[in-house]
Structure 1
Amino acid sequence: MSLVAHSPPLRDLNGRQINWIGAGYLLVLSSLPGQTIFIAQFNSALRENFSLSNGEFGLLYTAATLISSICLIWAGGLVDRIAPRTLGLICITALALVAVLMSRVNSILALGIALFGLRFFGQGMMSHIAMTAMARWFNRFRGRALAFAQMGFPTGEAILPYVLTLAIIAYGWRQVWLAAAVFLIVVLAPVIAFLLNDPPDGKRALARGIINPDAQNCSAPTGSKWNRSAILRDPIFYLIILGVMGPAAIGTLFIFHQAHLSQIKGWDIGVFTAFFPALSLSVVVFAIISGLLVDRLGAWRLLPFALIPQGFGTLALGLFDPVWTIPVFFVSFGITGGIMSPVAGALWAEIYGTAHLGKIRALATSAMVLASAVGPGLAGVLIDLKFDLDRQAFFYAAYCFVVSGAYFVFLKKFKARAEIMAYEQTTAQGLPLVLP
């Protein structure tokens, strides 16, 4: 028995669907001022301005991100009640205002508040809105829609480190934050509003009786029993969360402490940041491949493989010092990021259905944000204790391999859950399950 329907070619997408995917891409791109890869470029300037050590700044960043993850548990559920267009525009406006605040911070308290706003509205809500909408609006194209939407991340990863470094040198870090705020409001927000003007679950479509163009997308939400309390009692949820948290924590801590990593390895920081396009390219390539495989095989089948490349890349950081280690690190992390994004985005719908998808993804995104909070903070404290990143790397590699092994052990459990949800969806549609 196959758990997924026939995967149609991309040419079957119509104009409305392409607009939705484009909006998902721009929502993800808009989240970048709240992502570590953006904020990390200001690490040295902020620590110097406020006289903070690696550990102190890491703990402040951790605290801001931790509070953000707690707030996201509640706020993430708003995606189930408020249209993505409305909620997205609210969050992008708030993110722009926080960027203005960031340009004017003059105390550690103000810095902490600004970091919280960046992490909550940027890393948390913007990406959460995008991924939830893609998972809910698409079925046969779900994996590829998620893959294309998340291309906003590698777009920023390829361009921002180098551009931000030059801009900070030329104009100062405060002016760069002001420029980011202007770009969000003047450029990105209007385009997102236009692309999301006619969503499949919007009032206009419902009034005209227009159904979702993804013909096998069930009009009746599935997984109605999986509300928040039921999810929190399910052991499978926590097992999956371990894989979601791993890349967030490990990837974030190495990017956040890139200056320290370059110093102990004897690398020029400019050489390190010059390899960011390798990360972006590998994310793009493997996101496209993974998105296609999700649509054909199901996300649950790919999950056990996702963390393995990052495990080897982290191990390489611990073992080797030559400059060639940098592209190995970036490519391996990019492979995991490329695989994990469409897999994690689609997996929740495959295992738990779409009825409470916003709340489920809010829990998952909150866990991811929490992991990205703990990673830099813990690593920074260990660095202050003279336990450098190259020694920490062995423990992070072990985490990746152990979690991957657990996924292989529980693969039959994932299959059973996916079968139940596939049966519920096809029964509601009056369609038979697709046989091999």
Structure 2
Amino acid sequence: MQDTRPKSPPLSELTRPQVRWILGGVVMTLATMPGQTNFIAQFNAALRAEFGLSNGAFGAIYTLATLISATGLVFAGVLADRIAPLKLACASIAGLAVTAVLMSRVEGLPLLVLALMFLRFFGQGMLMHIAMTAMARWFNRFRGRAISFAAFGITIGDSLLPFTLTVSILAFGWRSVWIATAIFLVVVLIPLLLFLLRDPPDSKRARQSGAINPDAALSDIPTGLNWSRARVLRDPLFFMILPGIMSMPGIGTLFVFHQANLAALKGWPIETYTAFFPVMSLTVAAASLTAGFMVDRIGAWRLMPIFLLPLTLACILVATLHPVWAIPLIFLCFGLTQGVMNPIIGALWVELYGTAHIGAVRSLATAALVAATALGPGISGVLIDLGINLERQAVVYAAWCLSWSGIYLWLQPRFGFRARELV
């Protein structure tokens, strides 16, 4: 059945339940923050001092913990196809809160690795996966913009937390900050999520009452029934997509994780560096909304060649500029790529592989993105210890990003064929 409804309807057509579902997505992505590198990086100096670690050693520990969490996500991610988002998200937030308490009491390196592993698994891994999977499944014509709005939780966290954490750690100590984090997750975010997602479109109560999702696909039969996870793993196109989309989490993360090293290299006060994080956050928000609208209008696959271009420029700026005014320019470029990437990658898997196995397919991609956030800080930390500073590394990163923009341009005919074949 052909869908004759407007392809990208105005936001005024969103119903109150739909707005609540999107706000639930915002809460889920905000809850990911304790597992995000931007959050953990604020404890970098304190943890290295506590355990006597070099940049490379801490980067290696972070890499190990994150890679283990990414492996777990490959298997746990399929739960998003089987368990209601509300139940799965609340369980993940509770697990994250327990891990925050564990982090506050960590004494040795084995326990530090364990705590970091669960922070990454529940935070950046599962909660982000649940939120984006729910938005991609619940929305159709609003999919790009729903994903963009849901990602605002990270924007809010990135705007407020880096500087706040820096000050709080100095004032109260890093262990106390983790206790406060656990309390906030349990006392504020879980009740808020229970309210916002009390009646999602796939709930039993909604089905029993006959409630209809006004933005559902016309057919009740999900698309991509033949694209199981096993088949996706045999698809060459999937593996041609992965390296490029891993660039932003890998490269962007390493410049945040090693922010103290970068600031020292450039002669920037670390407080000044973290004070400019809102520039990136605001840029992410604006770019994400714009890209979300474009995704709904022309499709995510058509936008693939452009999203790495700002990151390319950011790496060039890191390699060449030293004045303090370069910091907001770098964050602006990071924000453009991250903001544009959120709705593009969030919708791409539905366009290429359908909705039937979206949780399983997304878990593979999300695991790869999480792994990238491990490899970036780990590899760069080793290179720093070997005397290859972040400025010299940035030149290679710029070339990498530009190359993958060209590859995505070359893949446009294959993307288009796959998207039309799925319909």
Tell me which residue corresponds to 1:31: 32
- Call closer, same or farther: CA 1:360–1:166 in 2, change over 3 Å: same
Give SS of 1:304's match.
coil
- Which stretch of the first structure deviates more once superposed, 232-241 or 32-41? 232-241
Give SS of 1:305's match.
coil
Tell me which residue corresponds to 2:103: 102
Q: Which sections of structure 2, spanning at least 5 residues, go unmatched?
A: none
Q: TM-score when scaled to structure 2?
A: 0.98
Give the % identical residues: 54
Residue type of the alignment partner of 1:134: M
Residues 133, 358 of structure 2: 8 Å contact kept? yes
Tell me which residue corresponds to 2:176: 175
- Cα deviation 1:382-427 (Å, max 9, x = unaligned): 0000101110001111111000000001101111111122x2xxxx
CA distance in 1, matches of 2:238, 2:98: 35
Tell me which residue corresponds to 1:161: 162
CA distance in 1, matches of 2:6, 2:315: 36
Residue type of the alignment partner of 1:315: I
CA distance in 1, matches of 2:329, 2:410: 28
Tell me which residue corresponds to 1:321: 322
Q: Which sections of structure 1, spanning at least 5 residues, go unmatched?
A: 424-436
- Cα deviation 1:42-65 (Å, max 9, x = unaligned): 000000001111000000000000
CA distance in 2, matches of 1:43, 1:289: 34
Matched ranges for 1:17-416 at <5 A: 17-216=18-217, 218-416=219-417
CA distance in 2, matches of 1:130, 1:4: 26
Tell me which residue corresponds to 2:16: 15
- Cα deviation 1:182-213 (Å, max 9, x = unaligned): 00000000110111111111101111222222
CA distance in 1, matches of 2:282, 2:124: 21
CA distance in 2, matches of 1:368, 1:131: 13
Residue type of the alignment partner of 1:101: L
CA distance in 1, matches of 2:262, 2:308: 22
CA distance in 1, matches of 2:286, 2:405: 22
**Ranges of 4+ aligned residues in structure 1 off by more than 3 Å:** 1-5, 215-218
1:215 Cα deviation from its structure 2 partner: 4.7
CA distance in 1, matches of 2:54, 2:217: 54
Residues 38, 256 of structure 2: 8 Å contact kept? yes
1:25 Cα deviation from its structure 2 partner: 0.5
- Cα deviation 1:317-359 (Å, max 9, x = unaligned): 1112121221111000100000000000000001110000000
CA distance in 1, matches of 2:250, 2:277: 18
Q: TM-score when scaled to structure 1?
A: 0.95
Q: How many residues align?
A: 422
Residues 31, 127 of structure 1: 8 Å contact kept? yes
CA distance in 1, matches of 2:4, 2:54: 51
Give SS of 2:147's match.
helix
- Call closer, same or farther: CA 1:66–1:168 in 2, change over 3 Å: same
- Cα deviation 1:350-379 (Å, max 9, x = unaligned): 111000000000000000011101110000
The RMSD of aligned alpha carbons is 1.4
Residues 4, 296 of structure 1: 8 Å contact kept? no
1:239 Cα deviation from its structure 2 partner: 1.6
